Chain A
C-alpha cells in the first residue's frame, strides 16, 4: 500500500476515524488499533513476512526484558549478542547472503578456482533494514542502561511497526517514540494542520518531482551509451532530485500521517541541497540513519575525540557501513566511500563543524560565496549518486566515461515537466528553509490556502499516475 495510492486514501481516514472517534477514550485500545492497522498495512505488501516482523519484535521485546532482569553483566551481554546476532542474521540472509556468496566466488576466480555459489534468490522483506534498526537501537539502549525495557508488548509492537515509518523510516529511537506511545494522546489542531501540510508537500515531491524525474532518468541510465552529453548530465541532475523527492517526500508524508495520530517522528531531511559542504549535507540528509550510525557506531569507535588518523578511520567505517546498509552491491559501498573521501579534507582542516546554521539565515538570497558552495556540494553529491543509481560498477564508470562523448542516439526526451517541477520545489523550499513545516513562510492565511490549492492542482496536473512507481527506499 503506497502512501500515494487509492488504497491508502481509504485506509487512512478509516484508521483516523476509529482512532479519534471510536477508541479515543482508552490508550490501550488506541495502541492496539495502531498495531493491528500497522500489521494490516504491512500485510498489504507481503503477508508472508508478517511472521518475520512479529518474530523480530518479540525477540527484542523478550531479550530487552531479560537484559533488564539480569544483574550479571556477562548474562546481559549474552542476551545482547543473541538479539543483535539474530537480527543481523536475518538481515544477512535476506539482504546480503547472495552478495557475499557471489562476491566470494568472484574473489576465488582470481586465483583460478571456479566456484559456483548457491544463491537464495529470495525477495527482500520490505522495510527489514528499518525495523531491524529500530529493534537494534532498543536493545542497545537497554544494554547501555539508557532506557528501561518495555513490558507492554502492544506498546513495544507499535514502536517497531507504527505504519507510517514501518517500511522506509524515519528510523526511530525508543527514547523518542516509546514515551509518546505510552502517553494518552489528545487531538491537537495545530499538530494536525502541520501533518496535513506535510502530507500535501510530501505527495507533491513524490508524484510530481520524483515520478516525473524518474521517467527521464529511467530512459537514459540503462541506455547511457546512446545518450547525448546533455541527456546524461540532465539525467544525473534529475536523479539527484528524484531520490530527494522520493525519499524526503515519503518522510514528509510519514511524519505528517504520524502527526494526525498525535505522534511526532524524528526529522529525516532538512533541505540537504541547500548545504554548503558535504559535512553539512550529511547533517541534513537521512538524518535518522546518520544519527543512528553516529550514536551506535561512530561514537563507540571514539568519534571525533581521537587522533586525526582514527577520526579518518572512523569516518571511512561509518560511510562504508552506511553505503552497505543501502544494499548488497558494490555501487552502494563505492557511494559511501566517495562521500567519505569528500568529507576527509574537512576533517583535516577541522572545518566539518562549519555551517551549522541555515544558509542565508534571515536573508532573501544567498551570497555569491554561499551559492557557489551550494552548487559545488550539489555537484559532488550528484556525482556520487551516479554510483547509487547505477545497476553495477561497470555501468557507473561507463556513464562517467560517456560524459563528453555522448552521441545522442536516444530519441528526444521531454524534460520540461521535471525541470519545471524541480524549480517550483526549489523556490518553495528555499522560502521555508528555516522551518521544518512546509508553507510556514506564508504568513497570510488566504495566500496559504490558495497555495495549498495550487499545489493540489499541480499534483493532479503534473503527477505521474500511469504506472505509479514505488518508493526507492522500500528496496532497502
Chain B
C-alpha cells in the first residue's frame, strides 16, 4: 500500500510540476501582443497599440458589419477604427475598450452600438461572454471580476487557488498547438486592415434575397436583461468620461420583422433608452427608412446588413462623424 501511494504521490507531484511549468509559460506567452491572432476581431482590437483615432466604433457583429471603414474614412476625412466584434455584449465591449485604451490608443469620439440583443447576450449570442479572450489578463482585477461572474462555482474556486489551471480548463485556446499556430500567424504580414475583413469576405452577393435565411430558430423569443450587463453598459460611459472621449450611441438597422418576434421588444427598448437618458448620452436610431428596413435587398440575415446595406448605412452615417 505504501509503495502504491508513494508512486501515485510522486506521479501526481511530477505531473503537477509539469502542468505548473506550462501554465507559467502560458502566463507570459499569451500576454504578448504580437501573438494576438488577427483573425479574431476581439484579439486584433486588443492588439492595437499607440494609435490615434478621431473615432472608433464599438459593439457586436451588428456594428462590426455595419460600416465600410475605408469608405467612411474617405468620406469624413477622419481616421477611424472599428473595434467591434461578433457576439460581443457590453461586458466584452467594456473589456475590449479598456485594453484598447490601456495600450495607449486615443479616441476622440466613440460610436457605441446599442440594442436589445446586447442587453441580453445570454439569449442572443452563442457566447454570453468570451471568457477565453480575457483569461490571459486574469491577474488584472478588472478582467478577473468580469470573468468570475461567468464561471461555474467550481471553476471560480479552482482559478482563484490555482490560476494556471485556467489554461487547462480552456485548453482549446491555450494548447501547445495554439502556441505554434500563433507563432506562425505572428510571422505573417497583415495584408488588410482587420476591420475591413468582414466586408470583403463574408458578404457574398449571391446570398442576396434568399428569404430562407430570415426564418432560422432563435435561442429565445424574449429578452431577459441581466443587471450585470447593464452595469457594464454604464461602465463604458464612465470609462469614456475618464478618458475624455465623447460617446455617441447608435443602433444599426435590423430587419423590420424582428420587433414582432420578441414578446418584450418595446419594453426592453424602453429600458435601453432610460439608461441612455439617465447618463445623458446622445443617441442616433437606425438611419434606414421603414421601407428600407423591410427590404431583403439590404440584409444578410435579420440582424445583419449585407454589402448593399453596409454601403447605404455608411454613407448615411458619415455626416454624423463629419459634424
- Residues of chain A having any CB pair with chain B under 8 Å: 6, 20, 187, 189, 192-193, 196, 416-417, 449, 452-453, 456-457, 460-466
Q: Which residues of B contact A449 (CB under 8 A)?
A: 11
The complex places the Cα of A456 from the Cα of B10 at a distance, in Å, of: 14
Q: Which residue of A lies closest to B168 (CB)?
A: A460
Name the distance in Å between B75's Cβ and chain A's nearest Cβ.
33
Name the distance in Å between A446's Cβ and chain B's nearest Cβ.
12
Q: Which residues of B contact A466 (CB under 8 A)?
A: 169-170, 172
The complex places the Cα of A453 from the Cα of B15 at a distance, in Å, of: 6
Q: Which residue of B lies closest to A464 (CB)?
A: B172
Name the distance in Å between B120's Cβ and chain A's nearest Cβ.
20
Stretch from B1-9, B93-101, B189-197, B284-292 forming part of the interface with A: B1-9
Name the distance in Å between A68's Cβ and chain B's nearest Cβ.
38
**Cβ–Cβ contact A462 & B171, under 8 A:** yes
Scoring B7, B11, B172 by chain A CB atoms within 10 A of each residue's CB, the highest score goes to: B172
Jot down 19 A-B pairs with beta carbons below 8 A, ordered by A.
A6-B158, A189-B3, A193-B4, A196-B8, A416-B177, A453-B11, A453-B14, A453-B15, A453-B18, A457-B15, A460-B168, A461-B168, A461-B175, A462-B171, A464-B172, A465-B170, A466-B169, A466-B170, A466-B172
Name the distance in Å between A216's Cβ and chain B's nearest Cβ.
13
Other than the given A453-B11, A456-B15, A461-B168, 15 more pairs (CB < 8 A) read: A20-B1, A193-B4, A193-B7, A449-B11, A452-B11, A457-B15, A457-B18, A460-B168, A461-B176, A463-B168, A463-B171, A464-B172, A465-B169, A466-B169, A466-B170
Q: Which residues of A contact B172 (CB under 8 A)?
A: 417, 464, 466
Known contacts A453-B15, A453-B18: does B171 contact A460 (CB below 8 Å)? yes
Q: Which residue of B lies closest to A452 (CB)?
A: B11
Q: Which residues of A contact B188 (CB under 8 A)?
A: none
B141-180: which have CB < 8 Å to A? 154, 158, 168-172, 175-177
Q: Which residues of A contact B170 (CB under 8 A)?
A: 465-466
The complex places the Cα of A463 from the Cα of B176 at a distance, in Å, of: 13
The complex places the Cα of A465 from the Cα of B168 at a distance, in Å, of: 8
**Cβ–Cβ contact B1 & A187, under 8 A:** yes
Is B19 in contact with chain A by the CB < 8 A criterion?
yes
Q: Which residue of A lies closest to B170 (CB)?
A: A466
Q: Which residues of B contact A460 (CB under 8 A)?
A: 19, 168, 171
The complex places the Cα of A6 from the Cα of B154 at a distance, in Å, of: 8
Q: Which residues of B contact A463 (CB under 8 A)?
A: 168, 171
Name the distance in Å between B13's Cβ and chain A's nearest Cβ.
11
The complex places the Cα of A421 from the Cα of B31 at a distance, in Å, of: 28
What is the interface of chain B mostly: helix, strand, loop, or mixed? helix
The complex places the Cα of A463 from the Cα of B19 at a distance, in Å, of: 14
The complex places the Cα of A20 from the Cα of B18 at a distance, in Å, of: 30
Name the distance in Å between B170's Cβ and chain A's nearest Cβ.
7
The complex places the Cα of A186 from the Cα of B14 at a distance, in Å, of: 29
Number of residue pairs spanning A and B whose beta carbons lie under 8 angstroms apart = 45
**Cβ–Cβ contact B4 & A189, under 8 A:** yes
The complex places the Cα of A416 from the Cα of B19 at a distance, in Å, of: 23
Name the distance in Å between B274's Cβ and chain A's nearest Cβ.
35
The complex places the Cα of A461 from the Cα of B22 at a distance, in Å, of: 10
The complex places the Cα of A462 from the Cα of B22 at a distance, in Å, of: 14
Q: Which residues of B contact A452 (CB under 8 A)?
A: 11
The complex places the Cα of A464 from the Cα of B173 at a distance, in Å, of: 11
Closest 8 CB pairs of A and B: A460-B168, A187-B1, A465-B169, A192-B4, A461-B175, A456-B15, A461-B171, A6-B154
The complex places the Cα of A466 from the Cα of B135 at a distance, in Å, of: 14
The complex places the Cα of A222 from the Cα of B11 at a distance, in Å, of: 42
Q: Which residues of A contact B168 (CB under 8 A)?
A: 460-461, 463, 465
The complex places the Cα of A80 from the Cα of B172 at a distance, in Å, of: 54
Name the distance in Å between A7's Cβ and chain B's nearest Cβ.
9
Name the distance in Å between B20's Cβ and chain A's nearest Cβ.
11
Q: Which residues of A contact B22 (CB under 8 A)?
A: 457
**Cβ–Cβ contact B171 & A465, under 8 A:** yes
Q: Which residue of A lies closest to B175 (CB)?
A: A461
Name the distance in Å between B144's Cβ and chain A's nearest Cβ.
18
Q: Which residue of A lies closest to B3 (CB)?
A: A189
**Cβ–Cβ contact A457 & B19, under 8 A:** yes
Name the distance in Å between A206's Cβ and chain B's nearest Cβ.
15
The complex places the Cα of A193 from the Cα of B7 at a distance, in Å, of: 10
Name the distance in Å between A201's Cβ and chain B's nearest Cβ.
14
Q: Which residues of B contact A461 (CB under 8 A)?
A: 168, 171, 175-176
Name the distance in Å between A221's Cβ and chain B's nearest Cβ.
16
Name the distance in Å between B215's Cβ and chain A's nearest Cβ.
14
Q: Which residue of B lies closest to A212 (CB)?
A: B172
Q: Which residues of B contact A20 (CB under 8 A)?
A: 1
Q: Which residues of A contact B171 (CB under 8 A)?
A: 460-463, 465
The complex places the Cα of A206 from the Cα of B14 at a distance, in Å, of: 23
Name the distance in Å between A417's Cβ and chain B's nearest Cβ.
8
The complex places the Cα of A292 from the Cα of B42 at a distance, in Å, of: 56
The complex places the Cα of A189 from the Cα of B3 at a distance, in Å, of: 8
Name the distance in Å between B127's Cβ and chain A's nearest Cβ.
10
Q: Which residue of B lies closest to A187 (CB)?
A: B1
Q: Which residues of B contact A196 (CB under 8 A)?
A: 4, 8
Annotate B1-39 by CB proximity to A: 1 below 8 A, 0 otherwise: 101100110010011001100100000000000000000
The complex places the Cα of A196 from the Cα of B7 at a distance, in Å, of: 11
The complex places the Cα of A457 from the Cα of B168 at a distance, in Å, of: 10
Q: Which residues of A contact B15 (CB under 8 A)?
A: 453, 456-457
Q: Which residue of B lies closest to A192 (CB)?
A: B4
Q: Which residues of A contact B19 (CB under 8 A)?
A: 457, 460
Q: Which residues of B contact A462 (CB under 8 A)?
A: 171, 175
Name the distance in Å between A454's Cβ and chain B's nearest Cβ.
10
Q: Which residues of B contact A189 (CB under 8 A)?
A: 1, 3-4
B251-304: which have CB < 8 Å to A? none
The complex places the Cα of A192 from the Cα of B8 at a distance, in Å, of: 10
The complex places the Cα of A463 from the Cα of B167 at a distance, in Å, of: 12
Q: Which residues of B contact A6 (CB under 8 A)?
A: 154, 158
Annotate B63-89 by CB proximity to A: 1 below 8 A, 0 otherwise: 000000000000000000000000000
The complex places the Cα of A143 from the Cα of B7 at a distance, in Å, of: 47
Q: Which residues of A contact B1 (CB under 8 A)?
A: 20, 187, 189
The complex places the Cα of A460 from the Cα of B175 at a distance, in Å, of: 9
The complex places the Cα of A456 from the Cα of B18 at a distance, in Å, of: 10
